Structures are given as structure tokens and as C-alpha cells.
Structure 1
Amino acid sequence: MIYGLTSRDRLLLALQRKEPDRVPIWMLFPRERLPYYADVYNEPSYAPVIPYVLKYTDFFDRRGFPRPPFLTAAAVERQEIIEDGEYTITRRIIDTPLGPLVAQVRRHRDGHIAPGDSFAFFREIEDLEKALSIPYEPFSPPLDEFRDAAARLGDAGLMMADLGTAISILYHATDTQQFAIWTLTEMDALEHFVRVMHQRLEVMVHELLEQGVGPVWFLVGSEFVIPPLVSPAVFDRLVAPFDGRLIEMIHDHGGYAIVHHHGPIDELLEGIADMGADGIQPIEAPPQGNCTMAEAKRRVGDRVCLIGSIQYGDIQLGTPEEIEAQVRQTILDAGQGGGLILAPTAGPYEPQITPRTAANYIRFIEAGLRWGRYPLQAVSS
């Protein structure tokens, strides 16, 4: 048994499904202030939690890369903002050789969105061809921020490149109901679009890999093709062959791929493992999902590191005793033999948290340290 590991080595061993000194604890907190998380380092309500996070937890420093619409530098998006009484209309427009693509959000001043007056870029199946008619011009994402962050992180964790895969481009450009209908009526057109996006994504990912980006990649896409929204066959056709190829490329460069997947996963669990994923985050039990950590460990734990899975809602509303019990049970269910990283299912996204949430965050970390030391026989005593 190896003791006194750095967070970097502890996370690597977990991703390799080996037993480190203890179960890693990833609280999903950013290592430093980032605009897409709550400002945890300056907001006073987070102050009691931060010393525990910095001293006792393990970081995946998740960083994205700016990329143009439809992965071509030739695509230029412009924006119009229209004030309409109590509503603000934000209109995004991309001109194409076949006519403009327009997406719109009509938001009330109280924050709610008027669904009937809001729509995505793709409303007709022909809109996919509009997007593809834009000439393809490769682009090079800037890397200075990623490299600087890696230097600051050191051995406190692992850098993680955030990657929305080809299916995510299609999904986010389409209204959810329309997307589901098209998977029944227009699969050939969807597959063609996803294939082209994937080919462009391969070019980008190859360049990033050659530049040393990694070692961990966070793939976001499979969660958009889950039952009952669509058939599991959609995953087989629009996700597995493409995301599997990205994972192969990542492995060829010595990296690791974590598949991010909220919600129902039961029917896709083996499919994600078959793609070669090194980790899955999170695994959600009912009612949010349909698979427990124990079941996932039994079915794919010999192939995939399981990351999770304490519901963020429980951290908000539960008691410290309940959080400790959940952490302990998660370790019992999925920690034996390695291949477990403790994590919440979401967060931190609330601008301020309550004292209860802060106390539960702290108990989460304390419980992980108490029950997560290998060998795990002590957990049951």
C-alpha cells in the first residue's frame, strides 16, 4: 500500500482502478476563481469550507477552450438585443451561404424565459445543411491559460480539458423536443451532421494532444441521448463510434477520458465502458437517475473508475449525519479494489450557500477521510 501520495498520483491511481492511500475526494470546486463556478474564494458563505477543500481534497482543474460555431473559423456569430416591455429578446445570428441561422431567447425581467418565443438555431431539418454550408476553416484554441493553470496546480491535482463532443453541438443547436422527434424521422441527416462535427473535432483534439493538453479529458455528450427522451439505439449511432474514437486518440497520447453523464444511465452503462472510458461522473441513483453505485461497480467497475455520487440536493438539505452515512455507503458500495473517486453530483454554483450546506460540505470531506483509507476493511468495523 502506498501512503502519503500527492493528489496528482492519488487521482491517477484511482483512474487506473488501483488502490491509492485513500479514496480521492473531488468536491468539484475550481482550484481558483473561474467565471463558470460560484466565486467560492471570495464569497463569505463559502469561507468555512475553503480550508478543508484546499488542505484535504483532490482537484481536477477543469478548463474549456473557446471554439467557433460549428467548429469552423469561418462562422461568425452576431447578437441583437431588443427591449420589449418587461422582456429582453436576445437574438443570435449566424450567416451562411444558404441563409441565416437564428436562435432567440425572450427573458422576462424576473429571469424566467418565455418558451414559446424562444428557439434554437435548428428548427427545420434543412437548417443542418445551412450550418454545413459554411466553409470549414480549422482553428487553433489558445493554450496560454491552460498551461499557466497547469503550472500553478502542480501536484495538487490533474488538469482536465473540457470537451463537448459532436452530439453536444447538435443537441445545443436544437430544441429538445425537436431533437427527440428527429431521432425517429431524420436519423440519416443527424448522423451526417454529427460525423462532420466529429471530423472537425478530431482535428482540434489532435492539435491539443500534440501540444500536451491533458492528461485528463472530460467528455460531455452521452447524457443528451438518454431514455426516455430517445432510444438507446441513438447512443449506438450518434455517440459511441465518435466519442469512442476521441477516447482512443486520448489514450494514444497517454491520457485519460472521463465521461460526464447526468440522469438515467442504466441502459448505456456498458456502452460507455465499451467506448474505453476511464471514468464516469456522476452515477445517479433514483429518482435523479436509474443506477446505483453498487450496481455500476458490479457491472463495469473492473473497467471504469466511478466518480460520485452524493446528490447536491442532499448537501443543501440533508444533515451532516446523513451526509456521512451516504459517503460511508458509497465507499462500501464502490471503493473496494480502487476505482472510486468521491464527489458530489454537481456544484458549486450557488452564489451564496447556507450554514447547513457549508456544514455538509465539511462533513463530506471529513467522512471521506475517515472511511476512505485503504485497505477498506476498517469501513465495516
Structure 2
Amino acid sequence: MRRSVSVSSGTVSSQTGMFGFMMVLYLSLRGLSRTTAEGGKVLSARRENSGTGGNRRPVLDKSPPLHGIIEHRKELSARRDPAVLPAPRTGSEKRQPMNKLTSHERLTRIFRGEEIDRPALKLWGASPDVGWQLHEAYGPVSALAAEMTDLFAGAGGYGLNPMFGSDGGTKVDHWKTETGDPLWLHCHTRIHTPKGDVEMVRRGSQIREPGYDMEHYVKDEEDIEKLLSIPYTSPEGMKKESYDEAAAHVGNRGIAMIDLPHAAYFVHQMMGSETLAYLSVDARELVDELISVYAKRIYDHVKRILETGVEHPIFGWCGPELFLPPLLSPRDFDDFVGKYDKPICDLIHEHGGYVWVHSHGQVRHFIERFIEMGVDVINPLEPEWMSNGDVDLDEVVGTFGGRIGLEGNIEIQEILQSSKERIAGLIDACVEAGWKSGRLILCPSAGYMEYPRPTEQYIENLLFYLRYGYEAVEKCRK
């Protein structure tokens, strides 16, 4: 049975009220009452500045007052029973001064869990070169970030499409149709598989706004079978030089990271939130099979990279956020994410490498799972006063100490909309709490250059974040 979703003005909704009610009832009876259409919340969280469509705006009035942020965290910390919690590492006031580290040394030590001179400062998306700019207003931000921050540089040449690999024999058609709005086009893709065609439609912006998936490849169980029938050829010719060149280019200013696809995330992209919620119940074995096939291809891809002899590589991926509540359950996270990500993490660690993972959403009760999985640094740890976060950094540090690197905790919505005074308070609170772990990377929750028409306030706040953030982390050295 096919269940369709209509998309209008960037919001996802069931076609009728009764349909939405029946969906909730259907999943509630199976112990997945939280797996509702609300699951789209995480996906839409990054559409807050999309101009057309995407009417969600960050809810900032849930946050504690600026003057009470640090006091609020201390109060929560004081309520914990220290007898049953691992003791956090000592704060900066009890540390012995150490020599100033380079950005490369600092970030490497954070991944390894070794002592550092101060927290790292990151602006997500910054690179050693100013290069291409989405808007000319970003130029000063990019230049300052290249100068002041601890950089993550992409290591190209390792891309993988888990669906095809390097196979070029599958016929794929692409075409575009008008939408009636000159700013948007419908971009169609049809894949001719051995078991029949699958098709997706994406609404694409003509002015670099975020796009929207209007129709996904997978609409029912039969479409999963079609995807599984697509021929796959393992990519060959992984070159060690690609990573070495990226690492040499960033040099002492930071580290190079190899981006990997994520099996569960890739499957979500094939079917969308609502269909995934249904099929995780109706066709769970098929969903698991599709994820397992893609995970095996990614595992083999990582193995080939490691066999080239790259030294201490860092791998990173995004995707676990889409398998957290409220869309899916902790059991789903274990079955579809943990089960397949852990072998990849183990393989990377066996070869002296490290793992960085990005997961939006309410991750507080999944941090132990990420640690057990083998994640070395978790991003972005959105704070509890935001509608899409639940992390009290002081509590997290008190609970987990330095068992995992902590990156983020500064919501991008705050930089988009808040006053400099508030941003300063948030930075101070984050650094004070996170520095006690000895593994903090101060960072916003999203890339800085994702808004085609940045406001003057946003640009000024980005520059302020860089300057004040640098001052805040440098104070930890004293």
C-alpha cells in the first residue's frame, strides 16, 4: 500500500487530518507512539532561514536569562549525587600550564583524549583558503576564520555512492519541469533497475536556497527490492596521495578529514521520514537488509582507504540524527545505526584512525551509545533550552568526563538572531563547562555559509563569535 505525503511551502503534512490520526494510532499500537510525522522536526531545523518555504523559526524564549546560564548549569550539577557519577576532570584553574600547541596538535590530542593547552575553536565550514563564497558578505568571515580557528579540511578523492559504486551500467534519466514559480524548478530523477523503475522529485532553488524532496525513490516494499537489484561495482584506485595532499595543505592550522556516507542516513534519503517510520514496522527486515547492504559497501570502502597506508586518518559522517526519537526509537537506533556503525569505527581504530560524527537532535541519552560505538568526537550537542536540543554541557561533562570529545553547543540560531551580549554569555558558559572535560571544540551547530542572503546582523555576529570565542578559549591557557 502506497502512502503519499504532500509538500507545500516547505512544510510536510499528511494529506488529510484522519490520515495523520490513523498514522499515530497505527504506530502507537506497536510501541512506537513517538514515531509520528513530528519526526520531520529534525530535518526542518536547518530551514529556518530559507526565505521561501520553511516557516520554522528557532524558539529562543525557552532559554534561561543570560545572567543565569552558568548558575543554571551549576544548580543542575549540584543536584547530582557525586557518589554514583564518574568524577569530571579538573578544570582549567587546577591545570599546569603547558606549551602552546599548534591547531593540528590540539585537534589531534582532542581526538586521542590527550592533554591540551586550551579548547579548540571551530567555525564549521571554514577552510585554509577563503576561496568561493556563497555571498560576498562572507568574505571577511572566511578570512578571519582561516586565521584564528582550528581548521577541519576536507580530504577529497574518496567519494562513494553506496547505491552504484563505480558501476556505470544502470540507466538514469534526469529532467526538469516548471513549478509556476520562477525561483523554483522540479528536478526529476528516474533509475531503471532490473526490477523496475524508481523515481524521485526534488524542488530545486534557482537562487541557492535549500531544496526540498517532494517525492522519494521508495514508496513501498517493492521499491526497496528494486534498489537492492541495482548492480554495484566497488570503486578502485584509492590514492594515499589524496589524503596526504589535504593534510599537507592545512598543515599545522588543523586536520584533514575524510567524509563518508552513512548507511542509515542514505536509506532515509531514499524514502523520507514518514515512509521510513511505516516501513520500520511493516517491512523491518527489508529496511534492515537495505541498510546492511550499504553498510557493507561503506565498510569495504573504508578498508580500501586504510590499506593505502594513510597515517592516523580521521573519518567523519552525518546521519544518526534521523534515527533518534521522536522519529524512531532507541531500539531502532541500536538496530539501524549502532549495529552497523560500530564495525566501521572498530576498523578505523584498528588502523590508528579516529571518528567524528555529526548528529543533530536530542542526543543526551545516546551519548553512552556513541561512546560504545567508538565515536571519538560528537557534534553538535545542541543545548537544552533550544527546541531541537537537550544537552546541558555541565551535566554531560560531569557524567562522561573526557570519555568522548565534545564539539558544538552554540546554536547557529543564536548567531543568526541574538545580541552580542547573549552570544558572549553562551560562549562563556560553554567554555567553562566544556573545558573541564579536556576535550572541547567550541563550534556552532551548523555550517556558517548556508544562508544565500546573510543579514548584516548575522555577519557581525559571526565575526564577534570568532573574536570573542578566541578570547574565551585563550583564557583557559592562563
Q: Same fold (TM over 0.5)?
A: yes
Equivalent of 1:334, from 407, 413, 434?
Answer: 434
Partner of 1:254: 352
Partner of 1:368: 469
**How far off its partner does 1:141 sit?**
6.8
Partner of 2:26: none
For residues 356 and 113 of structure 1, the distance between their equivalents in structure 2, rounded to whole angstroms, comes to 25
**How far off its partner does 1:317 sit?**
1.3
Paired AA for residue 265 in structure 2: S
For residues 214 and 104 of structure 1, the distance between their equivalents in structure 2, rounded to whole angstroms, comes to 40
**How far off its partner does 1:137 sit?**
1.6
Equivalent of 1:102, from 172, 190, 199?
Answer: 199
Equivalent of 2:160, from 67, 71, 75?
Answer: 67
TM-score by length of 1: 0.88
For residues 342 and 308 of structure 1, the distance between their equivalents in structure 2, rounded to whole angstroms, comes to 5
For residues 129 and 108 of structure 2, the distance between their equivalents in structure 1, rounded to whole angstroms, comes to 24
Partner of 1:39: 133
- Give the 3 Å change call, closer, same or farther, for CA 126–312 of structure 1 in structure 2: same
Partner of 2:252: 155
TM-score by length of 2: 0.71
**How far off its partner does 1:230 sit?**
0.8
For residues 351 and 113 of structure 1, the distance between their equivalents in structure 2, rounded to whole angstroms, comes to 12
Equivalent of 1:79, from 152, 173, 181?
Answer: 173
For residues 34 and 175 of structure 1, the distance between their equivalents in structure 2, rounded to whole angstroms, comes to 35
- Give the 3 Å change call, closer, same or farther, for CA 50–198 of structure 1 in structure 2: closer
- Give the 3 Å change call, closer, same or farther, for CA 215–39 of structure 1 in structure 2: same
Equivalent of 1:318, from 400, 418, 422?
Answer: 418
Structure 1 consecutive aligned stretches of length 4 or more whose deviation exceeds 6 Å:
108-115
Equivalent of 1:230, from 321, 328, 332?
Answer: 328
For residues 248 and 11 of structure 1, the distance between their equivalents in structure 2, rounded to whole angstroms, comes to 20
Q: Which ranges of structure 1 fall in alignment gaps of 5 or more residues?
A: none
How many residue pairs match? The answer is 371
**How far off its partner does 1:170 sit?**
0.7
Partner of 1:209: 306
RMSD: 2.7
Paired AA for residue 54 in structure 1: A
Aligned partners of 2:128 and 2:146 also within 8 Å: no
Equivalent of 2:408, from 269, 292, 308?
Answer: 308
For residues 351 and 275 of structure 1, the distance between their equivalents in structure 2, rounded to whole angstroms, comes to 36
Aligned partners of 2:415 and 2:458 also within 8 Å: yes
For residues 434 and 313 of structure 2, the distance between their equivalents in structure 1, rounded to whole angstroms, comes to 24
**How far off its partner does 1:178 sit?**
0.4
For residues 260 and 357 of structure 1, the distance between their equivalents in structure 2, rounded to whole angstroms, comes to 23
Q: Secondary structure at the match of 1:153?
A: helix
Equivalent of 2:233, from 124, 137, 142?
Answer: 137
**How far off its partner does 1:284 sit?**
0.8
Aligned partners of 2:371 and 2:403 also within 8 Å: yes
Answering whether residue 274 of structure 2 is matched by residue 173 of structure 1, we say: no
**How far off its partner does 1:313 sit?**
1.2
Equivalent of 2:458, from 342, 357, 361?
Answer: 357
Paired AA for residue 261 in structure 1: S
Partner of 1:48: 140
Answering whether residue 395 of structure 2 is matched by residue 299 of structure 1, we say: no
Answering whether residue 362 of structure 2 is matched by residue 264 of structure 1, we say: yes
**How far off its partner does 1:27 sit?**
0.6
